[in-house]
Amino acid sequence: MGIPGSGLAKGLAVTLRTMTRKAHTAQYPDVQPELPPRTRGVIGLFEENCTVCMLCARECPDWCIYIDSHKETVPPAAPGGRERSRNVLDRFAIDFALCMYCGICIEVCPFDALFWSPEFEYAEEDIRDLTHERDKLREWMWTVPAPPALDPSAEEPKEIAAARKAADKIAAAVAAEAAQTAQAKDAAQGDRPTGSSGRDGAAS
């Protein structure tokens, strides 16, 4: 059992400690805050990477992502090929009045079409203006920070290692083929008879 009044003494000690400290007031908006690099401010859309797979809209817990699209027929790439159909994005909007900034849409996007931006100054007087259409979402892409540099001592990513291995294999095959071609050419030149003896015989 504790000493009677110990809780009150601890509380007063905290009060006395904070009374001696100088108050620090952030001079916002005159001085912008220094935000961490992974701040979840607003979501930017890189429209060229969007394939209208609908994963972000299906996985969103708040159902605040609205996507509309239509299908177009793509002519065959080669003569005799089959026509293909592809989805064309008509609308991509995010309602930030409903968004809870969980980041699931960004995590599940398989084509890197959504990115976090640290920008947070987009308050509106009308709540309907918090629904950002794809043009507005594209503008946020200009505020997305560059990815951090890789750690020099870190292990090389598996994708890069596999790509490098495949490139080295192709380069080795091309070099081997060039060496074989050069050897065959040298052998053909060595077996070819010279024309000087024929000309000398005819002259004699």
pLDDT of residue 108: 96
The one-letter code for the residue type at 175 is A
pLDDT band at 188 (very low <50, low <70, confident <90, very high): confident
Q: What is the pLDDT of residue 194?
A: 57
Specify the pLDDT at position 63: 96
Identity of the amino acid at 142? W
Nearest to 94 by CA among 118, 130, 147, 68: 130
Mean pLDDT for 14-34 is 85
Closest by Cα among 109, 116, 103, 94 to 41: 116
Gap between the Cα atoms of 158 and 181, Å rounded: 35
- Is residue 200 over pLDDT 60? no
Provide the 8-state DSSP code for 45. Answer: E
- Answer whether residue 59 shows pLDDT above 90: yes
Q: Report the pLDDT value the prediction gives residue 203, as an integer from 0 to 100.
A: 47
pLDDT per residue as tens digits for the range 115-148:
999 999 999 999 999 999 999 999 999 999 988 7
pLDDT at 191: 67
Which range is most confident: 29-38, 53-62, 163-172, 190-199?
53-62
pLDDT of 195 over the 60 cut:
no
What is the per-residue pLDDT for 113? 95
**Going by C-beta distance under 8 Å and a sequence separation of 6 or more, which residues neighbour residue 97?**
64, 127, 130, 131
For the full predicted model, state whether its pTM sits above 0.95: no
Max Cα separation, the chain?
134
Work out the average pLDDT over 18-23.
82
Nearest Cα neighbor of 38 from 91, 139, 107, 132 is 107
